[in-house]
Each structure stands twice: as C-alpha cells, then as structure tokens.
A and B are shown apart, each in its own frame.
Chain A
Amino acid sequence: MFDSPEKLALGLVTGIVFGFLLQKGRVAKFEVIVGQFLFKDWTVVKMMGTAVVVGAVGVYALVTADMASLHIRPALWAGVLLGAVCFGIGMAVFGYCPGTSIAACGEGRRDAMVGVLGMFAGASLYVALYEQIAPLTKSLGDWGKVTLPDVTGTSPWLWVTLLVAGGAAALLFDLVMRRGTPTISTGKPHRASAHQ
C-alpha cells in the first residue's frame, strides 16, 4: 500500500523541483503547448531538447561509471504508435501534458483541473480494458527494451555526441536569428547580443 518513507520523500522532493521548473519554464500554459504545435512558440522544443542533451551526457556518464542502470520501456510497436498518436491528439485538445497539467493546477488554472479529472477517467478506462488491450499492443511486434545503440550495433557515445552537436547547432541558429531581431517584451537588451 505504501512505499518506504525514504522513497516517498525522494518522490516528493523530485516532484517539487520538477513542478517548480515546469512553472518557471512557462510550459504550464495552454498558449505555449498549443503554440508549439502551431510552430508559433518554440519553448517546448528548446526545453525538451536541452533536457535530452544534458541528461543524455549525464546518464551515460553514470552508466559508464557503473553507477546507474538504464530504464528502457519496451518498443511494443502497435501500443507505441497508436497510443502516442492518441496522446498527441489529446494533448492538443486539452492544451497541457500529464506533467504540465499538474503544474497548471498548481498555478490555479481551472481548465487544467477539469482535464486532470479526465485523465483519471482515461487511465481508469485503460485499466478496465487492459486484459483485452494488452495482447493488441504486441500485435505489430515487440522489440523489447532496446536502445538506438543496441539496434545499430554502435557506441552510445556516438549518439550522445550527435545529440550534443545537433543541440549546439540549434542553439547557435537560435542566437544568430535572435541577433537579427532585437525583441522580447522586457525591453532590456539581451546579454547574448550585448556581448559582441
């Protein structure tokens, strides 16, 4: 019924930091999430991209030092394809995702609170149909808990290097684009451009 108190405390602290960061990152807002899908606001891609690059370096450093193990979810093709498209549709209609809707509730947004109730209903629906659905998720094959280095027979560091290089290129592009247009509502000059 309960995890150990240490585990519960660890979850709570992780959650507080996570929620704080999501709110400060502006992703607990409908405009930011839907704006990304409409290519009007790139906050979500910038944030997720930076998290993936920094986290990939850190996690593979830990794994190489034998201090952590990977936690990969199985690539059940039918489940992942159908489920993820269904998720994307729901996310655009609702305007938040599971983590950011919680953060939006903390901000006081009423529509997010309604959507969270919907999420309990959706999770319950899956639970109720689990016995029928579970075999279906495997119908297009199950590759198991595989990573990109596993399936290509390459070193994970090749992929991490690619991610870092891609991230650096995107960041550079963003900075160059921004120098051309001195913007943003604060009216203060950007340090990035003031530097040159």
Chain B
Amino acid sequence: MRSSLCASIVVVLASPALSVAQEAGADPLQYSGPAWSPYLVGALIGLLTMLTLYFSNKPLGASTAYARVAGLIGKTVAPRHTESLKYYQDNKPAIDWEVMLVVGAIGGAFLAAWHGGELTGQWLPPMWEARFGEDSYAWRTGAALVGGILMAFGARLAGGCTSGHGISGALQLSVGSWIALICFFAGGIATAMLMFRL
C-alpha cells in the first residue's frame, strides 16, 4: 500500500520531469556523444534522492564514507589510537551503507564509461595541460592531493559535500545546506578564476 503510493508519486513526477528533460536536451543518447542531457540526469538524481530517503531512510551523500574508510584503515594499523579518537567514539567506523554507496558508484561509473566507450587512463585533463603545460604531471599530482585534502576536510567541517548539502540538503530546504551551497560556489569560483584567468 505504502510502496504503491510511493511508486505513484515517482511516476507522476517522473513523466513530466523526464519529458521536459528529454525535450531540453534533445535525444539523451545523442547529447554530444555518449553523454546524456544534464536535465535528464538531474531529474533522475532527484528521483534517486527521493527513493533513497524512502527505502534507505538516508540522505544521499558521498563524503561521509571517506572518514569511515580512514577509520577502518586506522583500526587495522593502529587499533588503540583509532579507538581513542573522539570522532570514532561518536561515529563508529564500519562497512556501512555509505561505504557501499562509494563502492557501487565506482562500479556504476565504470559501467557507464564502458558503455559509452569513455574508459581512459588520463593523468592530465586537457584544460589543465593547456594551462600548465604538457609535462606538468608533478604539479597535477600535487594539486589533486592538496585539493582532495582541503575538500574532504571542508566537507567534514561543513557537514556535507556537493551531494549531501548541495542536492539532498538543498532539496529538503535545509538552511545550512543552502548557505553551504553558496559558499561552495564562492570558494570554487574565486579559486578557479585565480588559477585559469590570471
């Protein structure tokens, strides 16, 4: 009964959303090569967030898993130290829903890239190469490391990332998530302009 009601909400919502999305992006399979229209993908991610809240009783978010996995590694390398950390007393490190989400996402993206013939082994994104040179491997590696550190640290401090705050939180009309979303873009725009426009 309840799940049939949920299914009908999905259908009622999906049909106009998807037809608008298709309209806006032309044929999704013809949208610049193997990619789909961003409107179509956005509508499907919106539905996925809703179904996740219904079936898993969780907001869709990707960044929590990093602290979990770090805790699992810590537990095997230095169990006593890891268990003494306050964060892991409040949030037990475990193989849980969030960790499986990340594992699944690697597989899902692999399938999609394979299906579209987009599997690659690229080190330097073309835009990076055009700006910083063909042999900027060390710089790219350093930037990816530093950027990853800042991003994960910031996500834990803010309580979420682009999916947890930016999509799941924003669509629930959370005050903190809308503030976070604005600040993500403020920090990102300023930094990208400094790196690529100066």
Contacts and interface: CB of A to CB of B under 8 A. Distances in A.
B167 A15 contact: no
Contact of B147 (A28, A84, A118, A160): A118
A108 B112 CA distance: 12
A88 interface: yes
Contact of B50 (A46, A62, A71, A120): A62
A88 B187 contact: yes
B27 A83 contact: no
Given A82-B157, A95-B147, A73 B179 contact: no
Given A18-B108, A98-B163, A99-B105, A127 B87 contact: yes
B171 A85 contact: no
A130 B87 contact: yes
Interface residues of A, number: 138
B106 A118 contact: no
B26 A192 contact: yes
Given A30-B127, A120-B69, A125-B149, A25 B109 contact: no
B13 to A, nearest CB: 5
B19 to A, nearest CB: 11
A37 B185 contact: yes
Contacts of A29: 125
Nearest to A73: B159
B53 A59 contact: yes
Given A26-B38, A80-B158, A92-B192, A2 B95 contact: yes
Interface in B27-72: 27, 30-36, 38-39, 41-50, 52-60, 62-63, 66-67, 69-71
A25 B49 contact: no
B172 to A, nearest CB: 5
A34 B157 contact: no
B43 A90 contact: no
A130 B157 CA distance: 9
A150 B179 CA distance: 15
B97 A20 contact: no
A12 interface: yes
A111 B144 contact: yes
Nearest to B111: A20
A8 interface: yes
A190 B39 CA distance: 15
B112 to A, nearest CB: 4
Nearest to B55: A10
B79 interface: no
Contacts of B182: 84
B85 A128 contact: yes
B62 A84 contact: no
A186 B163 contact: no
Interface string A126-164: 111011011001000001011111110000100110000
B176 A112 contact: no
Interface string B159-195: 1111111111111111111111111111111111101
Contact of B41 (A24, A84, A107, A171): A24
B107 A111 contact: no
Interface string B138-158: 001101111111111111111
Contacts of B111: 16, 19-20, 106
A74 B146 CA distance: 27
A11 interface: yes
Given A50-B43, A134-B86, 15 more contacts: A10-B56, A14-B56, A23-B108, A24-B34, A34-B195, A52-B170, A55-B168, A58-B47, A58-B49, A97-B151, A98-B162, A120-B70, A122-B154, A123-B155, A192-B26
**3 closest Cβ pairs, A-B complex:** A15-B104, A88-B187, A118-B148
